[in-house]
Amino acid sequence: MQKTFSYKALIAIVVLGTILRAVNLFWGSPFFFHPDERNIANAISGMRFPDQLNPHFFAYGSLPIYVTFFLGLVKNLFSQEVISPNKVGFEDAVVILRFFSFLFSCGTILLVYKIGALLKNKSAGIISAYITSTGVGMIQYAHFGTFEMWLTFFLALLFLSVLLYQKSPSLAHALLLAFSLSVLIGVKISSVIYLPFISLIFFQKNYTLIKKSLIAGGALLSAAIFYSITNPFTFLDTRSFINSITYESNVALGKIVVFYTGEFLTATPIVFPFLKIYPHLVNPIHTVLIPLSIAVLIITLTKKFNIELVYLLIFFFTSFLSQTFLFAQWTRYFVPTLPFIYLMLSLTAIIIYESSKKNKKTLIFLGGIAGVLNLVFAFSFVKTVYLEKDTRIEAVTFAKINIPTNKKILSEIYDLGIIPFNQYYPSVELFNFYDLENNSPDATLTIYKDKIAQSDYLVLPSQRLYQTRLHDPVHFPKGNKIYKQIDNSTTYKKIYETPCDFWCKIAYSFDPIFGPEQTVNVFDRPTVMIFKINYEK
């Protein structure tokens, strides 16, 4: 009976998670505003079979790019309207990329259930699967055609294979472990961070030294071969690969401060994710419980050693600490930590329940409330982002009614949110606010003043600049001066701001502009502001 109940509950949880992830999966069409997604899709659409297979994109591994590209070619065989059968269109690339994100996000629900059951029991599996199913971060990144869900799924699969190998060190489990690690490295080369730990897994078994060496060496060799096959231009175009990796590393480490990393100038490692990222990805209540769950698991280990719990903590801390001490702490970097957080929370709940001799009904009641709240946060996010009209389209709709097409509009550079305005307003000019602090001759306060004098309206397509410039006058004195005037000056009359209703406030912890890390919402649900310029000309 209990077994039947568990499977029925799991099916219901998977169905719920699938529905939440499928809602408006292809949001943003035809603009597709997510810049990382666009970069990947552009790389794919620039390839041609068989003579041009270099994606010229090395920020991540090439495995998802080639899988998407060749699936796109297969799709061409069954499509009547194909410009070139040897190429994959930009929109087709986005659709296939998002399909994989959706698929891996749904698949992670099942993986987390299996892991929870192995770590503790089926109850732990069910609780972990439910939190995964209704986790906002898992829902959001299922809607992005980026590589986060690839990393999350295969990192969870790697952890599952470690547990299986620990319990039963068979060849099949060793191959699963090697395969998971190989795919992870093929998706993102920085996944080599798990290599030393995986090597130790093989060496701790009671084998002869020769057998240990053969197993570990074989797994590492297979990972190297798999990476070479799926990332051939790492070796065929080494200069571009090294240049890309060097640039990306310098940006992540803060050696190069670029326009989209300004918010991290005041970020504190470890603290920042718990203040700006996890309240959205997990939810505010569960974020507070993460340190508690870690403490409970450590205390549990001091009472009774459990190697599986040690592995769980190692996987979480490896994935978390390797990102939080980077200069750039983008939300996407922390998505692969989510399965381990869900598992820690569910195990903690069961440990507390089992250790409590009294108040078990109260604990069940509190657990039920936590489950309902998780669903409320999930619904709030889905309704706000995917069931409502896109905020950039909503802003354009307002503008079409209230701003004549012959008016001159000034906006910020490097923000895709202004694109929908271009089809209705021929006089849209972009000013490079980002270069104000760099003493650039093309971006000065004088030039900005002239631009404003010649413009009728100012459109801020997202809160990205608005947020950092208002809050950080030390690093951005010139930008702070301008945005303080925009925020509180008779020169600028705000006529529109993206509304945020009750559900929106829940989704973004009651502060969609200044609360979360910028990439939490500037890609899929930015706050757009429109100001009428009352400048004395």
Q: Does the structure show a pLDDT above 70 at 210?
A: yes
> Which sign, positive or negative, has the C-alpha torsion 66, 70, 71, 73?
positive
Mean pLDDT of 143-147: 97
529-533 and 457-460 strand pairing: antiparallel
Question: Does residue 253 share a domain with residue 209?
Answer: yes
Residue pair 351/296 in contact by the 8 Å Cβ criterion: yes
> Which sign, positive or negative, has the C-alpha torsion 40, 42, 43, 45?
positive
pLDDT at 528: 98
Q: Does the structure show a pLDDT above 60 at 493?
A: yes
Q: Does the structure show a pLDDT above 70 at 523?
A: yes
Report d(CA 98, CA 263) in Å as an integer. Answer: 28
Confidence of residue 362 (pLDDT cuts 50, 70, 90): confident
pLDDT at 1: 44
pLDDT at 11: 96
CB atoms within 10 A of CB 164: 19
User: How many domains is the chain built from?
Assistant: 2
Both structure tokens of 506: 């829940």
DSSP track, 121-190: -HHHHHHHHHHHHT-HHHHHHTTS-SSHHHHHHHHHHHHHHHHHHHH---HHHHHHHHHHHHHHHHH-GG
Question: Does residue 343 share a domain with residue 462?
Answer: no
Confidence of residue 19 (pLDDT cuts 50, 70, 90): very high
Report d(CA 97, CA 311) in Å as an integer. Answer: 31
Phi then psi dihedrals of residue 355, to 5 deg: -85, -10
Both structure tokens of 516: 């979360």
Q: Does the structure show a pLDDT above 90 at 215?
A: no
Model confidence pLDDT, tens digit, residues 24-34: 999 999 999 99
Question: Does residue 351 share a domain with residue 427?
Answer: no
Q: Does the structure show a pLDDT above 50 at 200?
A: yes
Domain stop point among 361, 386, 411: 386
pLDDT at 42: 97
Domain stop point among 327, 351, 386: 386
pLDDT above 70 coverage of the chain, percent? 97
Question: Does residue 429 share a domain with residue 285?
Answer: no
Question: Does residue 330 share a domain with residue 404?
Answer: no
Query: For all residues of the chain together, what is the average pLDDT?
Result: 93
The contacts of residue 334 (CB under 8 Å, 6+ apart) are 273, 277, 278, 281, 320, 323, 324
Mean pLDDT of 373-401: 97
CA nearest 308: which of 114, 504, 103?
114
Question: Does residue 286 share a domain with residue 204?
Answer: yes
> Which sign, positive or negative, has the C-alpha torsion 368, 370, 372, 378?
negative
* CB contact burial 445-473 (16+ within 10 A = b; e otherwise): eeebeebbeebbbbbbbbbbbbbbbbebe
Question: Does residue 466 share a domain with residue 364?
Answer: no
Both structure tokens of 192: 């080599």
What pairs with residue 409 in β-bridges?
428, 457
pLDDT at 219: 74
Q: Name the residue with tokens 């194909």.
A: 82
Report d(CA 345, CA 367) in Å as an integer. Answer: 11
Question: Does residue 14 share a domain with residue 43?
Answer: yes
> Which sign, positive or negative, has the C-alpha torsion 13, 19, 22, 27?
negative
Report d(CA 516, CA 273) in Å as an integer. Answer: 9
Q: Does the structure show a pLDDT above 80 at 525?
A: yes
Least confident of 102-111, 140-149, 352-361, 445-454: 352-361
Domain stop point among 386, 418, 450: 386
pLDDT above 90 coverage of the chain, percent? 82
Both structure tokens of 86: 């040897």
Least confident of 19-33, 72-86, 293-307, 425-439: 72-86
428-431 and 409-412 strand pairing: parallel
Q: Does the structure show a pLDDT above 50 at 221?
A: yes
pLDDT at 208: 67
Classify 412 as helix, strand or coil.
Answer: strand
DSSP letter, residue 48? B
Mean pLDDT of 109-128: 96
Mean pLDDT of 317-321: 97
Please give the angle made by the CA atoms of 433, 487 and 523, to the nearest 5 degrees: 55
Mean pLDDT of 493-503: 96
For the chain, the maximum distance between any two Cα atoms, rounded to a whole number of angstroms, is 85
**Residue 108, H or E segment:** helix 90-119
Q: Does the structure show a pLDDT above 90 at 390?
A: yes
Model confidence pLDDT, tens digit, residues 71-86: 999 999 988 777 788 9
Both structure tokens of 311: 């592995």
Question: Does residue 235 share a domain with residue 332?
Answer: yes
Question: Does residue 346 share a domain with residue 414?
Answer: no
Mean pLDDT of 92-98: 97
Phi then psi dihedrals of residue 495, to 5 deg: -110, -10
Confidence of residue 535 (pLDDT cuts 50, 70, 90): low
- Laid out side by side, the sheet with 529-533 consists of 428-431, 409-412, 457-460, 529-533, 492-497
Q: Does the bond joining 30 to the residue before it have cis omega, within 30 degrees of 0? A: yes
Q: Domain limits at 366? A: 2-386
Confidence of residue 2 (pLDDT cuts 50, 70, 90): low
Question: Does residue 314 share a domain with residue 189?
Answer: yes
Confidence of residue 253 (pLDDT cuts 50, 70, 90): very high
pLDDT at 288: 95
Question: Does residue 414 share a domain with residue 366?
Answer: no
Helical spans, DSSP H, in 284-418: 284-303, 307-324, 331-334, 338-355, 360-382, 391-402
Report d(CA 115, CA 98) in Å as an integer. Answer: 25
Both structure tokens of 191: 């996944």
pLDDT at 206: 61
Report d(CA 284, CA 223) in Å as an integer. Answer: 38
Mean pLDDT of 189-206: 81
Q: Name the residue with tokens 């997990």.
A: 282
Confidence of residue 3 (pLDDT cuts 50, 70, 90): low
Mean pLDDT of 131-146: 98
CA nearest 306: which of 315, 298, 294?
298
Q: Does the structure show a pLDDT above 90 at 107?
A: yes
Report d(CA 480, CA 470) in Å as an integer. Answer: 5
